């Protein structure tokens, strides 16, 4: 059974592989289209082949394919580097990849299974201030009087909220 770190790595590779496959197929389609357009324009009489319109359609399809591939590249990078924003980026990339059957749909299912399951929640859920290590030995403690807020000191290692809300209007 794989650990949550291994699943995170597998999910990152899944998104990178999906994006790589999509980009490879896009470039192959562009090369094929260029060859076909060149052959068709040579066989057509002068001025009858709508090269500008066909080129505009190909550029549109190229941009459209990039819109669906780039989020998976970003998500794969974020997952490998364990960035904070990786969960959000991966959910977006998973939704966009779901429309590409069957590979993208499989990546989407794996994305949702991992991120919304126990392993993904443990790995990417933000911990409260009391559990998280802040990198400093200073922690928030009780306020000294009713009108002040908590102060940072080294003595206590937990957050204690003020006894009553401060009145900001005074």
- Domain locations along the chain: 4-124, 128-170
- Per residue in 76-109, pLDDT (tens digit) is 999 999 898 999 999 999 999 999 889 999 999 9
Residue 158: pLDDT over 80 = no
Burial 30-67 (b: 16+ CB within 10 A, else e): eeebeeeeeeeeeeeeeeeeeeeeeeeeeeeeeeebee
Residue 156: pLDDT over 50 = no
């Amino acid at each position: 059974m794989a650990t949550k770190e291994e699943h995170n790595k597998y999910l990152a590779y899944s998104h990178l592989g999906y994006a790589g496959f999509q980009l490879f197929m896009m470039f192959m389609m562009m090369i094929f289209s260029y060859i076909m357009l060149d052959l068709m324009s040579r066989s057509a009489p002068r001025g009858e082949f709508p090269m500008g319109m066909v080129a505009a359609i190909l550029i549109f399809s190229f941009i459209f394919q990039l819109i669906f591939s780039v989020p998976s590249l970003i998500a794969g990078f974020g997952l490998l580097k364990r960035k904070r924003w990786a969960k959000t980026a991966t959910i977006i990339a998973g939704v966009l990849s779901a429309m590409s059957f069957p590979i993208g749909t499989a990546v989407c299912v794996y994305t949702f299974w991992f991120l919304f399951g126990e392993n993904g929640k443990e790995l990417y859920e933000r911990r409260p201030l009391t559990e998280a290590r802040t990198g400093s030995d200073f922690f928030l403690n009780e306020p000294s009087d009713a009108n002040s807020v908590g102060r940072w000191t080294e003595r206590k290692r937990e957050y204690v909220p003020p006894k009553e809300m401060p009145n900001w209007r005074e």
